[in-house]
Structure 1
């Protein structure tokens, strides 16, 4: 064993390369919902691949953004909560950095923590990769320009999206995209209609089964075939409202119920200003309906382009008239579409 010899006064020891490992934990809660899960039971053949996909997704996202500076694993907590079918998960990130970098601040700023990674994926915040895919709706970008930390995605000659450059890395990663698709694969089963993420008992993401086409692992070299794209006047009855994730509302047109995103900024400003809306209220709108084929799958999407009028719930007798009017409109415009 080497003896410890005191250094002469005024001499500094030679610097030693030291590393230290730090962990951060990000708990979250995922839910699969639908009529098939009313008894809070789920086929393990559906659940197991989805849980593995969540782990693969976050691990691949971590590798794309952090490289070798951090590793990430997802663990299942022992507690199961009442609900349709939910699982407590924890994303644990192991940060391996040189001590000198940590104290200088470089290590802390360079590594994205678990919460930020989930934001980049789109599990939190309504944006990220999931938000980008929802905006693209199966379309291939014409061009992606990166300017430092910001990227501009050119969807068409007139439509652009500005996103964090790290989201582009995830968008271009086959592993990330295929893992994300597998996370939502249980929604392909009959009776499983919704997926959700909760943090601190608050819903931070909702995905519906009619969004699977937009969220599929389509390669960046392929694009969906547009079958029809039309805009028409519609009378819609509100069934439920959501003021996040693209303001996707559940509506009924007299024939069928579907989800529609709202792109009318003036209407959204009225909501922010306190105008009251409720279940059963009626909206007269310009509704854009897009039907496309993506890898053999038929996708339907609806977007409320303009809200022309807001009415109170229909009085007795009126629903039949509204239903008849909707039938006439459907003869011209086709099937009601769902939002991605």
Structure 2
């Protein structure tokens, strides 16, 4: 077997002590393994050639996971040959095709999906040099290898990519880095970029509903775009707040919040029916009332 190694680093407040939710990490790593295997199978037409193994390597202040991609010796020769053919021009390795270790402005799956950021590809122009120019629905263009242009539309690529980046849509993980050498990031995906990597990004919801509700604040962020963790007592959701009046009041310190306070608000629930199943997102459209959490008081005995 021939192996190629790289590191995945999950970083942020939730992992400052080298700790991370086991279920969250396991789901993300399983999805990364499936992503790598699927991309290789699509690119080469030979499923089952690649296996991804985890090598435990923890560093205080972040959660580092070493990964080894293993190829059978004859398969490695096939990868090299594929990379040298016109259809593989612009990629010298599987990691480059994924976008984990691109150099000199090259574009892999990660860079193309980030660039799209939920936009629809309105037009494709295949070039003679093995590349394809993608034109988004707003007219912006990006040129990528032909393989990348096909991969970003494939559900077996986009679905595991979404699951792999799921920790960025939860509390406490602010970025995921890819390192060929410890401490030298070849690429990174940040929390603010996470929405671009959802499989349904850019697609219109299959259904939308609005309803009034009261939620208790479980975790809050005073940065626009970040999702608050809210609970109605039976369900916990992650929701961004779109209310401009609310944010203006926060920015001039007219109101102050703390965990366990309550918000009476209008909630929008968007749902998408994707190849991976039903996807649901919540948004607070308007905050009608802020109720401070009841404070315990002492009693004279």
Q: Does the 8 A contact of 1:140 with 1:223 survive in 2? A: no
Which residue does the alignment assign to 2:132? 151
Contact (CA 8 Å) 1:65, 1:169: kept in 2 or not? no
Quick one: which of 127, 139, 147 aligns to 2:119? 139
Following superposition, the deviation at residue 142 of structure 1 comes to 0.6
Q: Which has the larger radius of gyration?
A: 1
2:70 is matched with 92
Instruction: State the distance in 1 between where 2:120 and 2:76 align.
Output: 41
Correspondence 1:166 to 2:143 = no
Q: What displacement does 1:107 show?
A: 6.5
State the TM-score, normalized to the length of structure 1. Answer: 0.53
Displacement after TM superposition at 1:83 (Å): 3.5
In the alignment, the residues of structure 2 paired with residue 187 and residue 34 of structure 1 have an alpha-carbon distance, to the nearest angstrom, of: 9
Q: State which of 10, 18, 26 in structure 2 corresponds to 1:48.
A: 26
- Correspondence 1:109 to 2:84: yes
Q: What's the counterpart of residue 124 of structure 1? A: 101
Post-superposition Cα deviations, 1:311-337, rounded to whole Å, max 9, x if no partner, equal: xxxxxxxxxxxxxxxxxxxxxxxxxxx
C-alpha separation between the residues in 2 aligned to 1:122 and 1:298? Answer: 30
Cα pair distance change 1:39/1:204, threshold 3 Å: same
Contact 1:57 1:179 in 2 (8 A): yes
Q: Output the TM-score relative to the length of structure 2.
A: 0.60
In structure 1, the partner of 2:239 is none
Aligned-pair CA distance for 1:108? 7.2
Q: Secondary structure at the match of 2:195?
A: coil
Give structure 1 stretches of 5+ with no counterpart.
1-22, 225-254, 260-292, 300-340
Q: Which residue of 2 aligns with 1:183?
A: 164
In the alignment, the residues of structure 1 paired with residue 43 and residue 180 of structure 2 have an alpha-carbon distance, to the nearest angstrom, of 22
Quote the offset at 1:159 in angstroms: 2.2
Match for residue 196 of structure 2 among 175, 199, 214: 214
Match of 1:77 among 55, 63, 66: 55
Q: Distance in 2 between matches of 1:98 and 1:76?
A: 20
Aligned residues: 210
Alpha-carbon distance between aligned partners in 1 of 2:51 and 2:177, rounded to the nearest angstrom: 20
On the 8 A contact 2:99/2:110 being kept in 1, the answer is yes
Question: In the aligned structure 2, how far is the partner of 1:131 from the partner of 1:38?
Answer: 27
Deviations 1:182-229, CA, capped at 9 Å, x for gaps: 111112221222111111221011211121211111278x368xxxxx
Q: Which runs of 5+ in 2 are unaligned?
A: 206-221, 227-269, 273-279, 284-301
CA RMSD of aligned residues (A): 3.5
Deviation at 1:158, TM superposition (A): 3.8
Q: Is the Cα–Cα contact under 8 Å of residues 64 and 169 in structure 1 kept in the other structure? A: no
CA contact (8 A) 1:70 1:96 kept: no
State the distance in 2 between where 1:53 and 1:63 align.
Answer: 15
Q: Deviations over 1:270-300 (max 9, x none)?
A: xxxxxxxxxxxxxxxxxxxxxxx8956589x
**Does the 8 Å CA contact 2:43/2:147 hold for their aligned counterparts?**
yes
- Shift of the 42–107 alpha-carbon distance from structure 1 to 2, 3 Å rule, reads closer
Change (3 A) 1:190 1:65: same
Sort the Cα spacing of 1:120 and 1:97 in 2 relative to 1 into closer, same or farther, 3 A: closer
Of 15, 19, 35 in structure 2, the residue corresponding to residue 57 of structure 1 is 35
Is the counterpart of residue 35 in structure 1 residue 13 in structure 2?
yes
Contact 1:80 1:88 in 2 (8 A): no
Do the aligned residues in 1 keep the contact of 2:35 with 2:160 (CA within 8 Å)? yes
Q: Is the 8 Å Cα contact of residues 40 and 47 (structure 2) preserved in structure 1?
A: no
Q: Which one is further off, 160-169 or 66-75?
A: 66-75
Query: Which of 24, 27, 31 is 2:2 aligned to?
Result: 24
